[in-house]
Amino acid sequence: MTISVSASNIYKSYGKDDILKGLSLDLYQGEILALLGPNGSGKTTFIKILATLLTKDSGTVRILGHDIDTDANEIRHLFGYVGQDTERSAYGRLTVVENLHFFGALRGLNKKRSTPRSRSWCSTLTSRPTSTSTLACSRAARSKPW
């Protein structure tokens, strides 16, 4: 079996707080992984390291054969991350169109190419081809099984 994600001896701390202390795992192609643990145990920190949104203090990570330290841009094209903390992030403050342009740019689309796709998605998401509303909603609304 092919290893999709390999993390070895990952350490991350914030000040004096050690969040990840030697985390290691291999995720094989086709496997599904659930990260379970109490608040503050490092689940989101680890995912953000995989998504190249945070740097690790030490250790090695490879995603589909790409080293996170030397191939971060390639990994960003392979790995998507949308966190739960939208009220603190820019995503909740951006309009639907701005979000779609932003994520299109991350995938290498220029505005000329992403505009028709953004309009199509805006129609799907909001019933309007150019939405100026934001995607923000309450945490309770986000947790409902629509």
Q: Domain 3-78 falls in which CATH fold?
A: Rossmann fold (3.40.50)
**Confidence at residue 71, expressed as pLDDT on a 0 to 100 scale:** 93
Mean pLDDT (whole number) for 115-124: 77
Beta carbons of 54 and 47 less than 8 angstroms apart = no
Decide: 96 and 128 in contact? Cβ < 8 Å.
Answer: no
Give the residue with greater pLDDT, 96 vs 74: 74
pTM of the model: 0.62
Residue ranges covered by each domain of the chain: 3-78, 91-139
pLDDT digits (tens, 9 = 90+) for 20-51: 999 999 999 989 888 999 988 999 899 999 99
Residue scoring higher pLDDT (102 or 69): 69
Angle CA 46–49–51, to nearest 5 = 115
More confident residue, 111 or 92: 111
Paired with 12 in beta bridges are 20
For β-strands 3-14 and 58-63, DSSP reports them as: antiparallel
pLDDT digits (tens, 9 = 90+) for 76-92: 888 777 666 655 566 66
